[in-house]
């Protein structure tokens, strides 16, 4: 928005570039928020991302809108919840009614040179030009850094929006199945160099039946019954090595930015589409509503950032907030109807009074065996998760006291008031946003949550 540009000019009258900034957006696939050494993880070494965080702001409470590739990516490129744009599962295209309002087309219309390299997966693996981007590289982690360098070194008169989307560490899926890794093998190591099991390796009591069935009956995805504890350590070893591999490749792009003298007028944003369980709750992959699955890394570096190296713990949605943030940086009006907020003030160490105190995350994955359908509400220090069927379908966790989500407070009567409050809050959000979670055949058009009665209006 205009206010952000003016604020920057007032604070940096000598250094602020007069031209609109370049923007470099880097996205990995399936990287949990804890998958960086700057996040305090001793089992992984990510010097490139650590350095980026030291030069910018790391948002430590960033969540995806849906822990699955297509829904999350579609959100990031439209600024809308997956159900709004008809992308609640993989293989679903963004509703064409939003085509002109997608990030690439929006920036292209504003005069930006828009380029995209790497994984798209909405639903094609490689992007097509209908989304407003010049395709500089297909689905190929090995070629992506070089393709970005070739794009960056071209002379141009307009600012650029360059999106670089890596597949890794998504190759953990192949690693877990003992399949060949598409972008190169990882080095072997003796068992005493494998990471230990996470503190929440064993799921706490009262695990939702839907999660248990999914984990136990879909071994190709979850592997709960297939892996020993040592297998899980090897799984974690592979996951963190894949993160280190992509960290080095991100470094190649950032080196190109610096050597081509583009660093001073380029905003760099880094995130991932969703997380990875990596053995927590004896689960692999994503889709479930635990923190490891839905919480993602998110770093923004701007040349004018105040007090770089800060950690911001405000509640952030990458799917909802990325679009208005990039529009704000570029002084491009954001599309009407977006519920996300610009993060630009945080880069100036400003803290808006009206920042959100709650987020909703959707999950909906259905395959030929068992699927996951659920919703999560994060508000204040608690998280409420509810799945569509089965015993123990509700969970309440105190994320402040129980960050590893081991004690399900939904089972305790002393937390019944909190449980009911979160049910009501989520229900109100579902109704307001026309999210028909768990819609019943006899009451079409109404979401269903435990202890929320059917509307009398629907009975007529």
CA distance to 63, 144, 219, 269, per residue, from 272 (Å): 10, 16, 25, 10
Q: What 3-state DSSP class applies to 392? A: coil
Q: In sequence order, what E strands does 64-121 have? A: 113-118
- Joined tokens for residue 93: 């295209």
Lowest-pLDDT range of 14-18, 24-28, 257-261, 388-392: 14-18
What is the rounded distance in angstroms from the CA atom of residue 437 to the CA atom of residue 445? 10
Give residue-wise pLDDT tens across range 302-331: 988 788 999 999 999 999 999 999 999 999
Give the phi and the psi of residue 259 in degrees, each rounded to 5.
Answer: -70, -25
Model pLDDT for residues 248-286, shown as the tens digit of each residue: 999 999 999 999 999 999 999 999 999 999 999 999 999
pLDDT at 220: 65
Rounded distance, CA 358 to CA 315, Å?
A: 7
Q: What is the pLDDT of residues 440-452, one digit of tens each?
A: 888 888 888 999 8
Nearby residues of 16 by Cβ (< 8 Å), 6 or more positions away: 8, 9, 304
Please report the DSSP string for 445-460 in residue order. Answer: T----TT-PPPHHHH-
Q: Whole-prediction pTM value?
A: 0.93
Reading across the β-sheet that carries 22-28, which strands appear in turn?
A: 134-137, 113-118, 160-165, 22-28, 266-272, 298-301, 57-59, 310-312
For the chain, give the mean pLDDT.
Answer: 91
Helix/strand number for the chain, H first, E second: 13, 14
Angle 75-77-80 from CA coordinates, rounded to 5°: 35
Got the DSSP string for 316-357? EEHHHHHHHHHHHHHT-PPPTT------HHHHTT---TT--S
Residues above pLDDT 70, as percent of the chain: 92
Residue in the block written with tokens 């007032």: 10
> How confident is the model at residue 239, as a pLDDT?
97
Neighbours of 87 (CB within 10 A): 28
pLDDT surpassing 80 at residue 4: no
Which pLDDT score is estimated for 460? 36
Q: Could you tell me the pLDDT band of residue 46, with boundaries at 50, 70 and 90? A: very high
C-alpha to C-alpha distance for 251 and 1, rounded to whole angstroms: 30
């Amino acid at each position: 928005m205009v206010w952000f540009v003016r604020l920057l000019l007032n604070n940096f009258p000598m250094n602020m570039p007069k031209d609109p900034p370049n923007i470099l957006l880097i996205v990995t696939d399936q990287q949990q928020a804890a998958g960086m050494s700057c996040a305090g993880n001793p089992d992984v070494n990510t010097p490139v991302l650590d350095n980026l965080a030291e030069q910018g702001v790391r948002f430590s409470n960033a969540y995806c809108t849906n822990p699955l590739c297509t829904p999350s990516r579609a959100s990031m490129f439209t600024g809308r919840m997956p159900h709004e744009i008809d992308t609640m599962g993989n293989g679903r295209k963004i509703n064409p009614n939003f085509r002109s309002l997608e990030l690439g087309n929006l920036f292209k219309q504003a005069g930006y040179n828009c380029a995209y390299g790497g994984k798209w997966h909405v639903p094609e693996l490689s992007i097509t030009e209908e989304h407003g981007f010049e395709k500089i590289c297909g689905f190929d982690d090995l070629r992506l850094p070089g393709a970005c360098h070739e794009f960056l070194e071209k002379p141009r008169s307009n600012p650029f929006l360059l999106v670089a989307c890596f597949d890794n560490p998504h190759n953990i899926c192949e690693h877990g199945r003992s399949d060949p890794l598409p972008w190169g093998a990882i080095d072997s190591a003796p068992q005493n160099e494998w990471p230990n099991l996470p503190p929440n390796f064993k799921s706490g009591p009262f695990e939702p039946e839907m999660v248990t069935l999914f984990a136990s009956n879909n071994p190709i995805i979850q592997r709960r019954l297939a892996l020993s504890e040592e297998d899980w350590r090897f799984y974690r070893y592979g996951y963190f090595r894949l993160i280190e591999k992509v960290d080095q490749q991100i470094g190649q792009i950032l080196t190109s930015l610096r050597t081509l003298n583009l660093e001073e007028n380029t905003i760099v944003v880094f995130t991932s589409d969703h997380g990875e369980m990596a053995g927590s709750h004896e689960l692999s992959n994503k889709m479930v509503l635990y923190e490891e699955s839905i919480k993602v890394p998110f770093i923004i570096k701007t040349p004018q950032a105040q007090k770089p190296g800060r950690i911001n713990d405000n509640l952030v949605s990458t799917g909802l907030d990325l679009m208005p943030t990039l529009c704000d940086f570029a002084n491009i009006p954001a599309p009407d109807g977006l519920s996300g907020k610009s993060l630009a003030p945080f880069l100036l160490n400003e803290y808006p009074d009206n920042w959100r105190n709650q987020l909703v995350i959707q999950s909906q994955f259905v395959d030929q065996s068992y699927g996951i359908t659920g919703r999560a509400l994060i508000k204040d220090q608690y998280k409420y998760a509810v799945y569509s069927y089965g015993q123990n379908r509700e969970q309440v966790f105190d994320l402040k006291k129980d960050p590893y989500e081991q004690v399900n407070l939904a089972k305790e009567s002393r937390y019944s008031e909190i449980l009911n409050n979160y049910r009501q809050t989520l229900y109100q959000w579902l109704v307001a946003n026309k999210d028909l979670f768990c819609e019943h055949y006899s009451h079409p058009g109404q979401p269903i949550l435990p202890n929320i009665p059917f509307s009398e209006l629907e009975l007529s």
